[in-house]
Amino acid sequence: MRPSKAASVLLSLVLALLALSFSIAVPILCRPFYYVQIDALDLPERTGWPAEVIREAYNEVLDFCVFGAPFGTGELAWSESGRSHFADVRGLFLLDFAVLGVTAAAALLFLLLHRARGLSFYRFAGRGPAFWAGAGAAGAVLLVAGLAALDFNRAFTVFHAIFFPGKDNWIFDPAVDQIILVMPEVFFRNCALLIGGVLLACCAGLIVWDLLPRRRAGRRYITV
């Protein structure tokens, strides 16, 4: 079968979105990533709450955002405005999970079409979809990381302006939404670093996946 340019472009996009959505899901689903920061960020000393109370508050918020459980923050105070923001966050989480599921299914479909129907992918500039997905996603994350490194506070504000347009309920008053005291800005910075690290690792894997079969087979066109 003649290598398909359209399929190659589409698979590149699918793989890039798969890597991105997976990377975002890691800090959401890996709760120990937060647990280890309770002591690392001295949260009990800074807030006066024991680690168990902090962990319970975080778990209840994540249970709401991920599973749709009733909203709560354990023993910490919260407001309707704070709950409304986390409802918006839940929408973004579910969107990421949906993209992860759809792109994983699409990647599997491409693999099945290749194996069962002989679908092959055009190699632009001698590189396959996996290479361009990895290179494109890596370039994007490095650009964003570079801009964020210049002024993380500004990047944090821009992020909320983009994903929560027209809303200011993400600006918490610690007196009424105490959860913000145990989820400081440095925690979100660490989440961004984790997402970036996982994404770069995925990009490296995609690039290597493209290069190794080419060296082994020595053909102009390969699967991905």
Over the stretch 62-119, which tens digit does the pLDDT of each residue have?
999 999 999 999 999 999 999 999 999 999 999 999 999 999 999 999 999 988 888 9
Model pTM greater than 0.85?
Answer: yes
- Reported confidence tier of residue 35, pLDDT bands at 50, 70, 90: very high
- For residue 222, being part of any structural domain is answered with no
φ/ψ of residue 170, rounded to 5: -85, -10
- Reported confidence tier of residue 221, pLDDT bands at 50, 70, 90: very low
- For residue 223, being part of any structural domain is answered with no
- For residue 213, being part of any structural domain is answered with yes
- The overall average pLDDT reported for the chain is 92
Give the Cα separation of 51 and 96 in Å (integer).
Answer: 29
- Reported confidence tier of residue 218, pLDDT bands at 50, 70, 90: very low
User: Of 145, 154, 174, 189, nearest to 33 (Cα)?
Assistant: 189
Q: Please report, as a single letter, which amino acid is at residue 66.
A: V
- For residue 89, being part of any structural domain is answered with yes
Asked if residue 90 lies in contact with residue 68, where contact means CB atoms within 8 angstroms, the answer is yes
Report the domain count for the chain.
1
Q: What is the pLDDT, as a whole number, of residue 31?
A: 97
Q: What is the pLDDT, as a whole number, of residue 148?
A: 85
216: CB partners within 8 A, 6+ apart: none
Q: What is the pLDDT, as a whole number, of residue 214?
A: 54
The range of the structural domain enclosing residue 102 comes to 5-217
- For residue 125, being part of any structural domain is answered with yes
